Amino acid sequence: MSGRYFEDYPPGAVFATGTLTVSAEEIIEFARKYDPQPMHTDRAAAARGAFGGLIASGWHTGAMMMRLFADNFLSPEASVASPGLDELRWLKPVRPGDRLSLKVTVLEARPSRSRPGEGIVRSHVEVLNQHGEAVMSLKPISLIRRRPA
């Protein structure tokens, strides 16, 4: 979201995003490269398996989460990098046709001690499907530039 700086992420602020729709083709393409387990790559094997059909790799869901996070929460002017994240949970299967969106709540925002032009924002991200169910949650850490004086 263009134009946001560290000062625009106060603790308690909530950001919602648009949606991304998951396709079977993309689930299979991602998983063939990065997570070639039959529940992600093989429709027939997935149908016989524990989830009763094809489900997205958790890392694919994470990548789609990142797309929504980059487009709707971070800004090109101020996003520096991420040192990491905590407490990632995959809560429900993500299936072909699901429409994913994010609810992002700022947990903490503090100026960096070592990098005076930047701040550290910790947030809670819920990845929701079209039924409003959380399919994934995580607490990312973001380094964000402070607004120029």
Which listed residue (6, 15, 30, 73) binds its own copies by CB under 8 A? 30
The neighbouring-strand residues paired with 96 are: none
C-alpha to C-alpha distance for 10 and 120, rounded to whole angstroms: 11
Which listed residue (19, 21, 47, 67) binds its own copies by CB under 8 A? 67
Q: How far is the CB of 59 from its own copies (least distance, A)?
A: 5
Which listed residue (82, 92, 96, 147) binds its own copies by CB under 8 A? 82
Q: How far is the CB of 76 from its own copies (least distance, A)?
A: 7
- For the CA atoms of 57, 63, 67, 70, the dihedral, rounded to the nearest 10 degrees, stands at 150
Classify residue 16 by its DSSP letter.
E
96 touching its own copies, by CB under 8 A: no
Binding segment for its own copies (CB under 8 A), chosen from 4-12, 63-71, 100-108, 122-130, is 63-71
80 touching its own copies, by CB under 8 A: yes
11: nearest Cα among 110, 80, 140: 110
- Residue 99 corresponds to which tokens in the numbers above? 């429409």
148: helix, strand or coil: coil
68: nearest Cα among 91, 100, 26: 100
Binding segment for its own copies (CB under 8 A), chosen from 6-14, 26-34, 102-110, 125-133, is 26-34
Q: Interface with its own copies by CB under 8 A: which residues?
A: 30, 33-38, 50, 57-60, 62-64, 66-67, 70-71, 74, 76, 79-90
